[in-house]
């Protein structure tokens, strides 16, 4: 799954749904989020969401 959103809430939603979160910056000035169901070695920065959750206690995942 990919999105142009880099919002912690959006990433947290994907993480809590079981995805591994990565950040990519292909165009040089616009970051993107990539979410994969299995952890892989790709040309992207892995985002450690447990650390983000501990640093940003107000962040809430979106539920539908």
Q: Are 23 and 7 in contact (CB under 8 A)?
A: no
pLDDT in tens, 23-59: 998 777 889 999 999 998 898 999 999 999 999 999 9
Return the pLDDT at 21. Answer: 97
Token pair listed for 8:
């912690």
When pLDDT is averaged across residues 6-22 and rounded to a whole number, the result is: 95
Return the pLDDT at 5. Answer: 93
Can you give the chain as a three-state secondary structure string?
Answer: CEECCCCHHHHHHHHHCCCEEEEECCCCCCCEEEEECCCCCCCCEECCHHHHHHHCCCCCCCCC
pTM beyond 0.75: the answer is: yes
Q: Given a cut of 80, is residue 64 above it in pLDDT?
A: no
């Amino acid at each position: 799954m990919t999105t142009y959103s880099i919002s912690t809430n959006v990433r947290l939603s994907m993480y809590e749904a079981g995805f591994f979160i990565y950040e990519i910056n292909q165009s040089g000035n616009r970051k993107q989020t990539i979410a994969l169901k299995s952890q892989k070695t790709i040309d992207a920065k892995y985002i450690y969401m447990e650390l983000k959750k501990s640093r940003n206690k107000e962040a809430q995942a979106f539920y539908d």
